[in-house]
Amino acid sequence: MMSFVPTRPLPYGRQHITEADVAAVTAALHGDFLTQGPKVAEFEEKFAAYVGATYAVAVANGTAALHLCALALNVQPGQRVITSPITFAASANCVRYCGGEVHFADIDPATGLIDLQQVRALLEAQPKGYFTGLIPVDFAGLAVDLEAARKLADEFGLWIIEDSCHAPGGFFVDSQGREQHCGNGRFADLAIFSFHPVKHIATGEGGMITTNNEALYRHLLRLRTHGITRDPADLQRPSDGGWYMEMQELGYNYRLPDFNCALGISQLQRADAGLARRRQLAARYDAAFAQVPGVQVLAPGRPGHAYHLYVIQVADRKGLYDFLKTKQIFAQVHYIPVHRMPYYESLGWREGDFPLAENYYAHGLSIPLFPTLTDDEQDYVVSCIAEFLVKS
């Protein structure tokens, strides 16, 4: 029945670069600034407006964004921070960069998101002040209920870094029925995004921090550039002259060049179209898999889902992964639970610590989902999955 065969390999995600993107980068390369020029502030302003936050700080990548957030929130050696075991390791690593201890709360198996009930249980089992922060992750593009997370955080004196790498354009609906967009700074102290090519907006490498907190914003600007300020309002001593600047603390070079920002600005113009196509493809998958016994879709039909990933769960995940590879379909697994990484096991975490995350990992598979995936290519993916399940 299936006669269509794709003419290209189908990865789980890929970037979409148009001639307009190429022209925007070329124009930036012909400009006066390759870095530290006007495209940085323009990208920041437009990105802040896109997610509905007051401030945005462009940085070298999503991991740098997390590191700067941990620094700005003053994570200290020995401080304890909670995140999800089902995330990219960087969500946890940023705490380790500052010498903090990473703790995990298990996931809600219906969504793949950190379970706030489990977070509460963890917090209640210890004296107040035992934990200092929470890093929830909008896994696969589904927004965490940050209104609930904020209540919990306030009760126990925690800050929140929202890892929104999967969810630009995503939202949850709050208790008043309002859409709260990922990274809008309404509930989280800071939110971070990545512009790695598999994410919604690609700049090669790139990242962004958003916040509504002016003090954190100003601190992040300094930390991004070696801890140096030239702002007359921030100087601790009288200026020696026009060249004067002060390095006031230990910062980094985590800047994003102008031509990457030019690409980001151009990509941002298509972000809504890309998101709409992701949602359309997800709805087509949802409908198709409702007819395929043996496929369980993670969190189907949720309002506000930004669909960085489309995750299915099957009994024989490795069998399906290997079979799809023979069909030129390159599915991926997101994620090996962070606590099972040898590095985190060396810090004392063990298999069995977070059984729901581990069970999710045993069955989950991210299948192709990106804006340029065609209906025919998607139908081919579905038919290959159905073919495998009939055989096995």
Ligand X SMILES: *Cc1c(COP(=O)(O)O)cnc(C)c1O
| Cβ within 8 Å of residue 370, ≥6 positions away | 11, 13, 14, 15, 16, 278
Q: What angle do CA 129, 131, 133 make, to 5 degrees?
A: 115
Based on the shown chain and the rule CB under 6 A, indicate whether residue 305 belongs to the binding site for ligand X: no
Q: Determine, following the binding rule CB under 6 A, whether residue 88 of this chain makes contact with ligand X.
A: yes
| Calpha distance 227→244 (Å, rounded) | 14
Which parts of 103-257 fold into alpha helices (H)? Answer: 116-124, 146-156, 214-224
Residue 218 token pair:
């100003």
* Least Å from the CB of residue 107 to ligand X: 14
Contact with ligand X (CB under 6 A): which of 13, 62, 251, 371? 62
Between 112 and 371, name the residue whose CB sits nearer to ligand X: 112
The minimum distance between CB 32 and ligand X, in angstroms, equals 27
Helices 19-30 and 258-269: crossing angle, nearest 10°? 150
Name which position in 165, 312, 320, 338 contacts ligand X (CB under 6 A).
165
CA distances from 337 to 185, 298, 311, 347 (A): 27, 17, 15, 14
Select 229 or 267, whichever has its Cβ closest to ligand X. Answer: 267
- Among 46-54, 159-167, 178-186, 227-235, which window interacts with ligand X (CB under 6 A)? 159-167
Q: CA 102, CA 343: separation in Å to the nearest integer?
A: 12
Question: Looking at beta carbons only, is 63 or 180 nearer to ligand X?
Answer: 63
Closer to ligand X by CB, 209 or 324: give it: 209
The yes or no reply on residue 63 touching ligand X (CB under 6 A) is yes
For residue 87, state whether it binds ligand X (rule: CB under 6 A).
yes
Is residue 161 at the binding interface for ligand X, with CB under 6 A as the rule? no
Of 12-20, 46-54, 158-166, 343-351, which part binds ligand X (CB under 6 A)?
A: 158-166
CB of 210 to ligand X, least distance (A): 14
Supply φ then ψ for residue 121, to 5 degrees: -60, -40
For residue 122, the one-letter residue type is L
Beta-sheet pairing, 80-83 with 133-135: parallel
Among 53, 92, 113, 137, binds ligand X (CB under 6 A): 137
Cα separation, 147 vs 144, in Å, equals 9
In the complex, least distance from residue 178 CB atom to ligand X, rounded to whole angstroms: 25
Helix/strand/coil for 225 = strand
Nearer to ligand X, 10 or 90 (CB): 90
If one asks whether residue 91 binds ligand X (CB under 6 A), the answer comes out as yes
- The answer to whether residue 105 forms part of the interface with ligand X (CB under 6 A) is no
Q: Which of 61, 84, 203, 260 binds ligand X (CB under 6 A)?
A: 61
Q: In this structure, is the dihedral angle defined by the CA atoms of residues 224, 229, 232 and 235, taken in order, positive or negative? A: positive
Find the binding residues for ligand X in span 351-370 (CB under 6 A).
none
* Among 5-13, 20-28, 57-65, 340-348, the segment contacting ligand X (CB under 6 A): 57-65
- Among all chains, which residue has been given the structure tokens 């810090």? 347
- Number of residues near ligand X (by CB under 6 A): 14
- Alpha carbons 87 and 270: distance in angstroms, whole number: 26
Among 196, 255, 327, 339, binds ligand X (CB under 6 A): 196
User: Least distance from C-beta 316 to ligand X, angstroms?
Assistant: 26
Give dist(CA 132, CA 14) in Å, integer: 36
Binding test (CB under 6 A) with ligand X, winner from 80, 166, 219, 278: 166
Q: Does 277 bind ligand X (CB under 6 A)?
A: no
> Contact between 207 and ligand X (CB under 6 A)?
yes
In terms of DSSP H, where are the helices of the chain?
A: 19-30, 38-51, 62-72, 90-97, 116-124, 146-156, 214-224, 258-269, 271-289, 317-326, 342-346, 355-363, 375-391
Q: Does 70 bind ligand X (CB under 6 A)?
A: no
The answer to whether residue 43 forms part of the interface with ligand X (CB under 6 A) is no
- As beta bridge partners, residue 253 has 225
> Which residue is closest to ligand X by CB?
62
Interface with ligand X by CB under 6 A: which residues? 61-63, 87-88, 90-91, 137, 163, 165-166, 194, 196, 207
